[in-house]
Amino acid sequence: MIKKFLLAVVSLSAIGCASVSTLQTARVLDEGDSFHSLGLAFYSSDDFLGGDEISIPLLEYTYRRGVWDKIDLGLKLALLGSAVVDAKYNLINGENWALATGLGLGYLSFESTVSGTNQKSTILDVFVPVYLSYDFSKTTSVYSAAKYMLRTVSGSGVAGDGSMLSSTLGVKLGDQSGVFLEGSLITGLDNDFTGNQLSGSYFFRF
C-alpha cells in the first residue's frame, strides 16, 4: 500500500508541480525586463498506480524578470496549487545560439485518503536545468531543456525521495508577444515512472 501511495504521489506531483514545463528559451531577460505567460498543458502517464492511465489538463501562469546581468528569476503557478521559483544564468549568449543553466524549487501540498485515513503530503522538487536555444530570427526560436529533479515526499507516516529526468523540445514564435509550444518527457531514474506533457502558452512583455 505504501509503495502504491508513493507512486500516486509521484504521479500527482508531476501533474501539480509545474517544474515539468519549460516555456522559455536559453536567453536571459535584460535587467528590468519582464514577461507574463498564460498556458495550458495536458499531462498523461501510463503507470499511475501501477498500470492505470491518467490524463489531465492544467493551467499555468508564469512571470519572469531580469534582475542582474546574465540572471533572471521566475515564478510559476499551476492550477492544482503548486508553485515553482527558479533562477536562470546565461552561459553563452551568441548571435544565434544561447546556453543557460539554473536552479529551481517546486512545492506542492495536498490531502489524500489511504485506507479510509486522511493523509496530508508535501512534495518538494529541487531541479537543475540546462537550456539550449537557437534563434532563426527575432521572432522564431527553437529550444530544448534537460532537467534533473530530486523529489522529496513527506507526510503523515509516509516519506521518500526519488530522482527524475525531464527533457523538453519547443518553439517560440513572437517577440514582444507570441506563443510557446512544447512537448516534454519525464522518466524516473530510480523507478519505472514515465510520463509526458504537451504545453502551450501565450506570453507578452511590458
- Say how far apart CA 176 and CA 206 lie, in whole Å: 8
- Please report which confidence band the pLDDT of residue 114 belongs to, taking 50, 70 and 90 as the band edges: low
The structure's pTM equals: 0.85
Whether 55 and 48 have beta carbons less than 8 Å apart is answered as no
- Render pLDDT for 39-88 as a digit per residue (tens, 0 to 9): 999 988 765 444 456 778 889 999 999 999 999 999 999 876 789 999 99
What mean pLDDT, rounded, does the chain reach?
84
- Render pLDDT for 21-38 as a digit per residue (tens, 0 to 9): 999 999 999 999 999 999
- Render pLDDT for 171-192 as a digit per residue (tens, 0 to 9): 999 999 999 999 999 988 887 7
- Say how far apart CA 127 and CA 134 lie, in whole Å: 23
Q: What are phi and psi of 19, to 5 degrees?
A: -70, -10
H helical segments located in the chain: 2-16
For residue 21, give the 3-state DSSP assignment.
coil
Extended beta strands in the chain, E state:
34-48, 52-68, 71-78, 83-93, 97-114, 117-135, 140-155, 159-174, 177-188, 194-205
